[in-house]
Amino acid sequence: MIMDIKQYIKDVKKTSLKSISIHFMSDVKVVEDILVKLIKKGYVKEVKSACSDCSSSCKKECDRYFEWVD
């Protein structure tokens, strides 16, 4: 399912969702790619990551937290 990302952001912002918590594993590359695009476009900012060295080659599981940019 492909949708207009800007419309999706507007629709999601209308809900009560204030932050996004995603449980990352190294093989969840698709979710990470989407988040990187959202961050670059200024829709989302990372609030907290489990460690300072987060890369796709990391094998640890961790929780990272993101918030919508107003």
Q: Are strands 62-68 and 44-48 parallel, antiparallel or unpaired?
A: antiparallel
Q: Convert the pLDDT of each residue in 1-20 to its tens digit.
A: 345 656 666 666 666 555 55
Q: What is the pLDDT of residue 34?
A: 76
Q: Convert the pLDDT of each residue in 43-58 to its tens digit.
A: 888 776 656 566 656 6
Q: What is the pLDDT of residue 68?
A: 78
What band does 36 get if pLDDT is binned at 50, 70 and 90? confident
Contact 51, 63 (CB under 8 A): no
Nearest residue to 12 via CA among 34, 27, 40: 34
Q: What is the pLDDT of residue 55?
A: 60
